[in-house]
């Protein structure tokens, strides 16, 4: 895979708790220079980044992040606020407790409610694969496929594990044809990125791919 094609699938990401505006601005500059799919940043910086980028690169942000146990109303408010501030893509975290409780209908309803709050903008659903059994991953493929979301996303990167090749292959096997996969967490090298795309991922959530390119 050509380097430019790989970079065009990257959501260039900075979600650390201490992220500053100069760091976000540099992320935007690097994402723009490298032809990334988007920059993925904290909600508090969305409006500033959208103004800075002036339509040259989509801004993605996170909802219910990283733990996913905010109420549905809070997640919808966060999503609507992010969209109002100019976010083009929303990555939401599901309620993992509801997964463990088997509350599948509640999970589906929540994703659909957040989807509606996105007003047609891209929605990615983070399922935190490192905390799930294989059966739970498969069931969530069905739920997210039914929800109207655009992507199923492996991980926040904040739960002790990230995307694995086995998980991406499993998701690809069980999602509906219209649903896309975002692999995130632990994607460190250009080879990692190429491997995940070859296994069926459409997007890569990472900061280290661009860093690796800058070091070439």
Q: What is the pLDDT of residue 97?
A: 98
pLDDT of 68 strictly over 90:
yes
Instruction: Annotate 141-171 with b (16+ C-beta within 10 A) or e (fewer).
Output: bebbbebebbbbbbbbbbbebbbbeebbbbb
How many other β-carbons are positioned within 10 Å of the β-carbon of residue 5?
11
Q: pLDDT grade, residue 94 (50/70/90)?
A: very high
Residues with a catalytic annotation lie at 91, 153, 182
The mean pLDDT value of the chain amounts to 97
The residue whose two tokens read 């959208």 is 50
For residues 203 and 9, the answer to whether their CB atoms sit within 8 Å is yes
- Tell me, what's the pLDDT at 177? 98
Question: Residue 38: what pLDDT?
Answer: 98
Query: 86 pLDDT exceeds 90?
Result: yes
pLDDT in tens, 1-20: 799 999 999 999 999 999 99
Pairwise pLDDT comparison (216 vs 36), residue with the higher score: 36
| Residue 37, pLDDT above cutoff 90 | yes
Q: How many domains does the chain have?
A: 1
Question: How far is Cα 157 from Cα 148, in angstroms, rounded to an integer?
Answer: 24
pLDDT digits (tens, 9 = 90+) for 170-209: 999 999 999 999 999 999 999 999 999 999 999 999 999 9
Question: How many Å apart are CA 149 and CA 157, to the nearest integer?
Answer: 20
Domain span including residue 168: 3-214
62 SS3 class: strand
Burial-class residue 213 by CB neighbours within 10 Å (0-12, 13-18, 19+): middle
Instruction: State both tokens at 30.
Output: 């690097």
Whether the pLDDT of residue 216 is over 90: the answer is: no
Q: What angle do CA 113, 46, 13 make, to 5 degrees?
A: 90
Helix (H, G, I), strand (E, B) or coil at 79: helix
The DSSP call for residue 94 is P
Alpha-carbon span 18 to 23, nearest angstrom: 10
Residue 1: the pLDDT is: 79
List pLDDT tens digits, range 98-146. Answer: 999 999 999 999 999 999 999 999 999 999 999 999 999 999 999 999 9
The enclosing domain of 35 has a CATH number of 3.20.20.70
Identify the pLDDT of residue 16.
Answer: 97
pTM of the complete model = 0.97
């Amino acid at each position: 895979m050509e380097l430019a094609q790989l970079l065009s699938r990257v959501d260039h990401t900075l979600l650390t708790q201490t992220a500053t505006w100069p760091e976000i601005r540099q992320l935007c500059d690097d994402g723009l220079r490298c032809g990334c799919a988007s920059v993925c940043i904290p909600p508090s910086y969305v409006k500033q980044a959208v103004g800075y980028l002036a339509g040259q690169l989509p801004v993605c942000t996170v909802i219910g992040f990283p733990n996913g146990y905010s109420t549905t109303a809070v997640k919808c408010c966060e999503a609507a606020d992010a969209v109002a501030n100019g976010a083009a893509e929303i990555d939401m975290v599901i309620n993992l407790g509801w997964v463990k409780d088997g509350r599948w209908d509640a999970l589906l309803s929540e994703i659909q409610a957040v989807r509606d709050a996105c007003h047609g903008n891209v929605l990615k659903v983070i399922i935190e694969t490192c905390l799930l059994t294989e059966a739970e991953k498969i069931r969530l493929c069905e739920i997210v496929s039914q929800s109207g979301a655009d992507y199923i996303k492996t991980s926040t990167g904040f739960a002790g594990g990230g995307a694995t090749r086995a998980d991406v292959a499993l998701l690809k096997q069980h999602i509906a044809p219209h649903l896309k996969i975002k692999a995130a967490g632990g994607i460190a090298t250009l080879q990692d990125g190429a491997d995940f795309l070859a296994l069926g991922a459409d997007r890569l959530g990472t900061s280290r791919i661009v860093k690796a390119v800058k070091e070439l």
